[in-house]
Amino acid sequence: MEDAVDSVSIENAKKDKSAFSLLFQQYYTFLYRYLFKLTMNKEMTEDLLQETMIRAYINLPKFRYQSKFSTWLISIATRLFLDEQRKRKRDIKRHEQLTENEKRKMKWELAQENLDWSLHLELFSTLSTKTRTLILLRHYYGYSIEEIAAMAKLKKGTVKSRIHYAQKKLREEWRDEA
Amino acid sequence: MKHDDVIKEMNETWSEMDRKVPIDIPDAEEIIHQLNCGEKRYQESLRKELFGFILLACVLLSLYIVAVVHIMWAFYVMQFTSAAAVLILLLVERRKRRVM
């Protein structure tokens, strides 16, 4: 994907909104899928995606090709998602794991898209928001620990240990369920 | 990166989700419209932030003047506090990449 988008289109997008919209369209599906996996909610995904787009446009002049453009975009989306969760948590003073109500909503959302709420999703939903994000970035998207640490603004050691303990927890619960 | 069974199966679930979730990509015009609205919102929030900062600076300055006029040692304390505040502010702004 990255090869298709050269620095010329990024440089054009820095100066022109139409060029930016064309560039962003190429990454729309990629970001939508990522955010949907995290939120499992269509509305929230679309809101976060819109906010990601605006942040990306405003901060694009600062993009210095130190990472892939997709990595840069996913970092913005990740930070926005984590900030949003932090705000929500502060508002309703709930604990880190998903509430039954939220799970029900997720299941309903997935059913709308003809997707099943599998045992894996059930296990995944027992993890905290931050840990779910880390596991997804590490194991599904294959980002390195360093990249994830930069994205989530955490120390490398913290990322490593959180992923390790989450995997351990998933493995144990998987064994119990199986 | 080693993948155990749980992760493998979870990845399969994600792949299936990727295939099934329908995505409507907005057209260029809609994106531009969203960008214009977003930009306005962003500028508004920056303005609010700046207004808050100016207000805080005014309050602190008033306190500063009142203190240094009435208490001798307060002058030195306030000098030190001001220097520290400027330094902290610069570090914060540098972190936000607004200054070099």
Model pLDDT, residue A90: 64
Cα A133 off chain centre by:
6
Into how many domains does chain A fold? Answer: 2
pLDDT at B58: 87
* Same-domain pairing of A103 and A164: yes
End residue of a domain, out of A35, A65, A93: A93
* Mean pLDDT of chain A, nearest integer: 82
A5 and A77, same domain (yes or no): yes
Structure tokens at A119: 């045992």
In this complex, do A140 and B41 lie within 8 Å of one another by their Cβ atoms?
no
- The residue length of chain B stands at 100
Residues in CB range of A27: below 8 A, 6 or more apart: A1, A5, A69, A70, A73
CA distance A78 to A35: 8
Both structure tokens of A43: 């509305």
- Measured between beta carbons, which residues in chain A are less than 8 angstroms from residue B39? 54, 57-58
Query: A46 and A17 in one domain?
Result: yes
Q: Residues near A167 by Cβ (< 8 Å), separated by ≥ 6?
A: A135, B4, B6, B7
Mean pLDDT per 10-residue interval, chain B, length 100 residues: 73 84 88 91 86 86 80 78 86 71
User: Helical H runs in chain A?
Assistant: 7-15, 17-39, 42-59, 69-92, 100-112, 119-125, 129-135, 145-152, 156-177
Is B2 near chain A, with CB under 8 Å? no
By residue count, chain A amounts to 178
Label each residue of A69-83 as H, E or C. Answer: HHHHHHHHHHHHHHH
Residue A170 and residue B1: Cβ atoms within 8 Å? Answer: no
Residues A101 and A38 in one domain: no
What's the pLDDT band for A13 if we cut at 50, 70, 90? Answer: confident
| Percentage, residues of chain A above pLDDT 90 | 33
Q: Is residue A40 domain-shared with residue A15, that is, in the same domain?
A: yes
Domain shared by A129 and A74, yes or no: no
Span of A6-10, A12-16, A21-25, A64-68 with lowest mean pLDDT: A6-10
pLDDT score of A73 more than 90: yes
Task: Choose the final residue of a domain: A72, A93, A114.
Answer: A93
Angle made by CA atoms A88, A93, A95, in degrees to the nearest 5: 95
pLDDT digits (tens, 9 = 90+) for A85-143: 887 766 655 554 556 666 677 677 667 666 666 667 777 877 888 888 999 999 889 99
Domain boundaries, chain B: 27-95
**Angle in degrees, 0-180, between the axes of helices B28-70 and A42-59, rounded to the nearest 10:** 70
Percent of chain A whose predicted confidence (pLDDT) is above 70 = 79
pLDDT, greater one: B79 or A84 = A84
pLDDT band at A160 (very low <50, low <70, confident <90, very high): very high
Residue A70, domain extent: 1-93
Please tell me the distance in Å from B94's CA to the nearest CA on chain A: 13
Cα gap A83→A48, rounded to integer Å: 11
Write down the pLDDT at residue A100.
Answer: 65
**Closest by Cβ to B28, choosing from A21, A33, A51:** A21
Asked if residue A153 and residue A116 are part of one domain, the reply reads yes
